[in-house]
Amino acid sequence: MQTVHDVAPLRAQVRAWRGRGETVGFVPTMGNLHQGHESLVRLALARADHVVVSVFVNPTQFGPSEDFSRYPRSLPADQALLSGVGCDLLFAPEVATMYPHGADHTAVVHVPDLTSVLEGEFRPGHFDGVATVVCKLLHMVHPDLAVFGQKDYQQLKVVEYLVRDLCLPVQIMAAPICRADDGLALSSRNQYLSATERARAPVVHETLLQMRDWLAAGHAPSVVERAATTRLRRAGLVPDYAVVRRASDLGVPEASERDGLVALIAAHLGQTRLIDNLTLG
């Protein structure tokens, strides 16, 4: 596996592959890789001749109250995992490579509507940073397909929107959520959970399953949301939201809607913020 830090050698290798008629898959990450990321790479490897993975902790998607410097960085371990799974090239740029004018003076990609709700409400500006860095990376790598995990469901919808709206020539693939045996969605943030918190954390997924059952039993989405919020609080979590939305655009469904929905939860457990979702219908 190659590791490159600049755009020129990245593009040179991609051009060489394309010159031989070979396809390129791409998996963007912020590093600190785990089994969930590995599943994304394996999906890309199954669909493309070569796979590029980026590791870049993007400063523009961190809010004022979020510690960019605290985000775990583990490049040597990431390199070992990626090499073992069969990744062809790791792109690990510096901030100056991604933002030559500085992160505070970059051109910004803004996706309307989708980015003002849920995560956008609790993390203002987050999705502008996500959309901007994803757009930059797609232009740098120029892949045939890019894989994004469904755990960050709203992010996936934002990326799908910007790719379609900006007419970017890349196929976006959604990868299923990778879970621990007890249902907890795998995340780099899970390492911050204490043993007691880790034992309690599966209640997030359990609540999503309960939301599905409540909807199937005929309860209105608004009733399901209130019940899910209460369930999380009784388990000791502090929810930002526990909602039912249309899967296509995250719009609020009508009381009678049952198909094409997704349940989404974001909740704090101690100092750790957990997010998860479950498609319904």
User: Which helix (H) or strand (E) element contains residue 200?
Assistant: helix 195-200
How many Å apart are CA 133 and CA 108, to the nearest integer? 9
What phi, psi does 185 have (nearest 5°)?
A: -65, 130
Distance of CA 48 to the CA centre of its chain: 21
Active site residue 37: yes
Catalytic residue among 34, 37, 110, 268: 37
Tell me the residue type at 36: G
DSSP secondary structure, 49-61, as one string: SEEEEEE---GGG
By DSSP bridging, strand 50-55 and strand 24-29 are: parallel
By DSSP bridging, strand 89-91 and strand 2-4 are: parallel
Angle at 21 between CA 19 and CA 25, to 5 degrees: 100
How many Å apart are CA 3 and CA 53, to the nearest integer? 10
> Which residues are catalytically annotated?
37
